[in-house]
Structure 1
Amino acid sequence: MSGFGYRVSGGKVDRVAVTEALSCTADFVWVHLNTNEEHAQVWLRDTAKLDDYVVDALTASETRPRCEAFADGALLNLRGRSSEEMSSGDPLASVRIWAIKGRVYSVTRRPLIGVADVETQMEKGAIVDPGDFIAAVATAITSDLDPHVADLGDELDDCEERLDANRVFDLRRTVTRVRVAAIGYRRFLAPQRAALEKLATLPGAWLAEDDRRHLAAAADRAARMAEELESIRERASLMHEALTDLRSEQIDSRSLVISIVAMVFLPLTFITGLYGMNVAHLPYAQEPWAFDAIMALCIGIAVLVVGYFVQRHWFQK
């Protein structure tokens, strides 16, 4: 079965296979399954002897961050970054946790970066009970996600500094990507904060006071990230509107140039078209100076039209 287990007994930490994790008594046992297949459900139900409600919660295909007290333990769903590429609509992978006194069961469908950090702490002996474990998971997830939220804000700051009509298309792609990422992250961080806050207040001897403080700190950090993401989303919307306005101004400016050029050549086209007709009796058509006169007249009209537009400030942006 895909997964691993840890046993803590007398301060000694042992990494074992899932099938051996429950084979003997220990002070604390953590079993992690990185699969959602049917045999994992069978193991959780038949070997771990978990309630059907808990098994269904741990192996559900669709989850959102939540915390729920059940019997003598707690069900917790959290979201964090995965080492695998995620879709823009669902950018964070889930970890489902069932914690009771002395034991923790966790299930992920995609590898979670935060779980790897918790493994490191586990092997160092820093986690000795379920409270330590959940606090470590919450802290690892928020610590890993925090710099990426900050990077989104920095990207938007850079776009605002480079705001220019000639870079509309490149900037719009970046702003759209930042906005989509912010919406996707905030979708899970807001309920995750509520789940951590609820867990920190749940009754139970397996949650020590320092664990509750760590959970409250993680919840506060998630709340701050959610607020930052909301700010990024709003700024991205305003930035998108500004880029749209710049693009419209650019189009209007180019249309104005085209209109001015057309109005300059409109009377010239009329005169040259009139004297280009192959008919008799055109005034002065037979005079030797006729061509020079028409050219001078066209130049004069062009200068007058351009001068009029300059005087009316049509060339100002």
Structure 2
Amino acid sequence: MSPDLLTDDEDCHLPLLFGRLLDGKGGARLIQWEEAQGWQPGHEGEVLWLHLLRTHAGVQEWLEDSLGLPEPTAELLTGDATRPRAFREGQTLVATLRGINFNPGAAPEDMLSLQLWSDGHRVVTLRRAPLQTPRLVANDLDAGEGPEDAGALITALTEHLIDRMSHAIVDMNAVIDELEDDTTPNDPDELLDKIVTIRRNCLALKRHMSPQHEALTAIANGAPGWFEDHDRREIAESIARLRRYLDDLDISKESAVVLQDDIRARAAANTQRTQYVLAVVAGVFLPLTFITGLLGINVGDIPLAEQGSHGFWIIVGLCGAILAVEVLLLRRLKWF
């Protein structure tokens, strides 16, 4: 099954979406909500990871009572203030991060929040809407190839979040390249709508990814001592990749602007060319229309009216001569 289709094993009666007990060697075993209550490390390197539904009733109270979190911190982890940020609180790390929404029917700019708390022995992540990043890390643990400690678990989560951001950026760049290769668009309005959507996505992604860059920098610089040097190096690498993605977003946005201006310029040129042709045609037929209109009025003494068919051909010849003179004159003026 594709990772994008995996879902949390959610029990509507419990806040726990899933839990893992890391063994310190890259593997983990399942842990249930009841066993997690009052958990203490059984041996060196054992880490508890709980992934919770933050909108479940009683989650904030559980954070305060079982983990001893201050009320403002518990409110931050369960609230709707989801702007990316991170800070150290004693020997604990608190963070709010954002990830791309790959749920069916969602747009890339509909980013989802992932709240995180850790004291080095326990890691608690919380989400509102389904987010596949925690499940991907859990799959690595189940395969015995996951993170070994709390710091590595946090870096793995951030790496997956950033990796999935790159997919959205690559998809947008592919659409821009396809539009740039279409030199003869059939429907400029449709193309302009696509470009506007791309620009809107770029702006929305950057609005969330820029503070995420600051949050990761805060983790790298201010995390507690249990967040080891190699974890800080991994976070620094994630920060560098995120910086590159932000630059890619700027390039994508500028490319979309250039493409938008080009399409509008082509449409304006086509409109001007059409108006020019219409003006030339109108100029050519204006004298002819005047003559035919003058001779077609229903009054007496119309010239050539008594000449019969000879009068008709005289008028036709006169109009033809006027047309020929106009064509020669327009060519001499290089109007066409």
When normalised by structure 1's length, the TM-score is 0.91
How far the C-alpha of 1:62 sits from its partner, in A, is 2.9
Q: What is aligned with 2:82?
A: 63
Determine the C-alpha separation between the residues in 2 that align with 1:22 and 1:309: 92
Determine the C-alpha separation between the residues in 2 that align with 1:133 and 1:312: 77
**8 A contact 2:100–2:108 mirrored in 1:** no
Q: What is aligned with 1:127?
A: 147
Residue 276, structure 1, aligned to residue 296, structure 2: yes
How far the C-alpha of 1:138 sits from its partner, in A, is 0.9
Change (3 A) 1:59 1:314: farther
Residue 260, structure 1, aligned to residue 309, structure 2: no
Q: What is aligned with 2:324?
A: 303
Tell me whether 39-48 or 61-70 shows the greater mean CA deviation. Answer: 39-48
Tell me whether 288-297 or 164-173 shows the greater mean CA deviation. Answer: 164-173
Q: Secondary structure of the residue that 1:236 maps to in structure 2?
A: helix
Q: What is aligned with 1:43?
A: 62
How far the C-alpha of 1:109 sits from its partner, in A, is 0.9
**Alpha-carbon displacement from aligned partner over 1:127-182 (angstroms, at most 9, x marks no partner):** 23210111001111111221321221222122122133644223212212221111
Q: Secondary structure of the residue that 1:184 maps to in structure 2?
A: helix
Give unpaired runs (5+ residues) of structure 2: 1-13
How far the C-alpha of 1:95 sits from its partner, in A, is 0.4
Residue 209, structure 1, aligned to residue 229, structure 2: yes
Change (3 A) 1:96 1:282: same
**Alpha-carbon displacement from aligned partner over 1:268-307 (angstroms, at most 9, x marks no partner):** 1111111111111122221131111111222222233234
**8 A contact 1:164–1:246 mirrored in 2:** no
Change (3 A) 1:189 1:167: same
Determine the C-alpha separation between the residues in 1 that align with 2:139 and 2:70: 30
- After superposition, the CA RMSD in angstroms is 2.1
**8 A contact 1:88–1:180 mirrored in 2:** no
Determine the C-alpha separation between the residues in 2 that align with 1:195 and 1:274: 82
Q: Secondary structure of the residue that 1:242 maps to in structure 2?
A: helix
Change (3 A) 1:164 1:40: same
How far the C-alpha of 1:233 sits from its partner, in A, is 0.9
Residue 313, structure 1, aligned to residue 327, structure 2: no
**Alpha-carbon displacement from aligned partner over 1:171-205 (angstroms, at most 9, x marks no partner):** 21221222111111111111212211221122522
**8 A contact 1:179–1:236 mirrored in 2:** yes
Identity between Structure 1 and Structure 2 (%): 27
Tell me whether 47-56 or 78-87 shows the greater mean CA deviation. Answer: 78-87
| AA partner of residue 313 (structure 2) | D
Tell me whether 18-27 or 254-263 shows the greater mean CA deviation. Answer: 18-27
Determine the C-alpha separation between the residues in 2 that align with 1:165 and 1:314: 28
Residue 185, structure 1, aligned to residue 205, structure 2: yes
Residue 5, structure 1, aligned to residue 51, structure 2: no
Q: What is aligned with 2:214?
A: 194
Tell me the matched-pair count.
315
Question: Following superposition, which runs of at least 4 residues in structure 1 exceed 4 angstroms of deviation?
Answer: 9-12, 85-90
| AA partner of residue 18 (structure 1) | W
| AA partner of residue 274 (structure 2) | R
Determine the C-alpha separation between the residues in 2 that align with 1:166 and 1:34: 48
| AA partner of residue 31 (structure 1) | L
**8 A contact 1:32–1:105 mirrored in 2:** yes
Give unpaired runs (5+ residues) of structure 1: none
Change (3 A) 1:164 1:311: farther
**8 A contact 1:189–1:223 mirrored in 2:** no
| AA partner of residue 99 (structure 2) | G
Q: Secondary structure of the residue that 1:277 maps to in structure 2?
A: coil
Residue 15, structure 1, aligned to residue 36, structure 2: no
**8 A contact 2:87–2:223 mirrored in 1:** no
Determine the C-alpha separation between the residues in 2 that align with 1:83 and 1:17: 27
Determine the C-alpha separation between the residues in 2 that align with 1:77 and 1:223: 18
Determine the C-alpha separation between the residues in 2 that align with 1:99 and 1:305: 86
Change (3 A) 1:286 1:230: same
| AA partner of residue 19 (structure 2) | G
